[in-house]
Amino acid sequence: MNNSPALLPLQCLKCQSALPAGVDEVAWVCPTCGQALILDDGQPSGLSLLTIQYGAGIPSGGRGRPFWVAQGTVVLQRETYSGNQSQQASEFWQSARIFMVPAYACGLDDLIGQGMQLINQPPSLGVGQPAPFLPVTLAAEDLRPMAEFIVMGIEAARRDDLKALKIQLNLGPAALWVLA
């Protein structure tokens, strides 16, 4: 094996077509049969079948943006220097929240900012037609650390002086959504 950063030799599990897999990508739709697949190191083939959900409103001819979406519950231990907002925090996290994390290539600040905004104002996901989408580069396993960054971002943005934060995050199963 050489280290050439060319295409990975991945084949569709359904029709054996070669997948046009870029090195940073972790999920694809087979160009021949339309089956969605995800990288899975636990499988001899290196792949598992995947179901992709498509939101409404992706313009025809445009490309949607993939997001990992999972419901999460959060329990916090907060310590503050001053201006304690822990009551507001526990009210906010009292109900389960929907985490939506960009799965396409974007900077960490952008990812956290979008995740914070989407948790505060969840879009209605609707159901649309399959459409092309930006390359999926965030592995499903990375949803948890990214969701923790989003919780940290939300807590750091409260109007108090946070000294220490302990996050206990329980995440449900992740789904891949492609949104407008």
Name the residues that contact Zn ion, by CB under 5 A. 12, 14-15, 17, 30, 32-33, 35
DSSP 67-119: EEEEEEEEEEEEEEEES--HHHHHHHTSS-EEEEEE-SS--HHHHHHHHHHHH
Q: Are 64 and 55 in contact (CB under 8 A)?
A: yes
Looking at beta carbons, which pairs linking 28-33 to residues 24 or more positions away fall under 8 Å?
28/136, 29/130
The least CB distance from residue 155 to Zn ion, in Å, is 44
Beta bridge partners of 105: none
Q: Which is nearer to Zn ion, 17 or 80 (CB)?
A: 17
Instruction: Please say which residue, 15 or 75, places its beta carbon nearer to Zn ion.
Output: 15
Phi, psi torsion values for 67, nearest 5 degrees: -135, 145
In this complex, which beta carbon is closest to Zn ion, that of residue 51 or of residue 87? 51
**Residue 16 beta carbon to Zn ion: minimum distance, rounded to whole angstroms:** 7
Residue 12 or 111 having the CB closest to Zn ion: 12
Q: Min. distance of Cβ 21 from Zn ion in angstroms? A: 13
User: Could you identify the residue written with the tokens 């599990």?
Assistant: 13
- From the CB of 47, what's the least distance to Zn ion, in Å? 11
CB 23, CB 9: distance < 8 Å: no
Minimum Å distance from CB 66 to Zn ion?
A: 19
Of the two residues 14 and 163, which places its CB atom closer to Zn ion in the complex?
Answer: 14
State in angstroms the smallest separation of the CB of 39 from Zn ion.
15
Residues 44-54 as b/e (b if ≥16 CB within 10 A, e otherwise) read eebbeebebbb
The smaller minimum CB distance to Zn ion, of residues 25 and 160, is found at 25
